[in-house]
Chain A
């Protein structure tokens, strides 16, 4: 994988459903992986910063895991609520160089 890839591109779920989506990235030269939530008409806000293989972070109903050896991270939302509707971005920060590489995001719509 040369770039950061996110799947699926978009997702519609019913309120109360649990869901998850994937961020894939080059496993070499890894320093950190960030998840951001971007609500419509707002700016992206950081959810998680993950650095260690096997890391698992949690914030309320949202959690994320990291596998740096195989180059992927999962974001899970348990019991989705309408306010979870947003685009979820992941970004890789490599060990060399000074810039982030963002994926194109997963757009989540939670239907009441």
Chain B
């Protein structure tokens, strides 16, 4: 079974609809992230969370919100979807940098392809 799962894998929706993308992980990591990928652009960070009570905005948080329901679950919501939010969305996890000599190596989910019409 995959360590980081995302649902749904594909979604087509209409402008103005509220959409939730879900991410679950079994790696036991404290840190979770949401990124979006657009053609010609690098992965850009939307939100990140370092534990259940911690939520932080990333580079491009406008139009998005998140919820960290448990250590293993991190949801991304588009309150009112718009066409320029059409993208590939990735959830990722990482361990704390000082654990086992790690440096925030990111473990990515399979991605959710979202299309907003």
Contacts and interface: CB of A to CB of B under 8 A. Distances in A.
Nearest to B101: A49
B111 A104 contact: no
A102 B103 contact: no
Given A49-B102, A51-B103, A99-B48, A4 B42 contact: yes
Nearest to A9: B40
Interface string A34-54: 101000001111100101000
B26 interface: no
A102 B58 contact: no
Contact of B41 (A43, A51, A104): A104
Contact of A104 (B40, B90, B105, B107): B40
Nearest to A44: B108
Contacts of A103: 42
Interface in B62-117: 90, 102-111
Given A43-B108, A43-B110, A45-B108, A31 B103 contact: yes
B114 to A, nearest CB: 16
Nearest to A99: B45
Interface in A17-41: 31-32, 34, 36
Interface residues of B, number: 24
Contacts of A102: 35, 42-44
Interface of B: 4, 35, 40-45, 48, 50, 56, 58-59, 90, 102-111
Interface residues of A, number: 23
Contacts of A91: 42-43, 106
A42 B4 CA distance: 12
Given A43-B90, A98-B50, A98-B56, A89 B42 contact: yes
A12 B2 CA distance: 31
Given A43-B108, A44-B108, A105 B42 contact: yes
A61 B58 CA distance: 35
Contacts of A49: 102-105
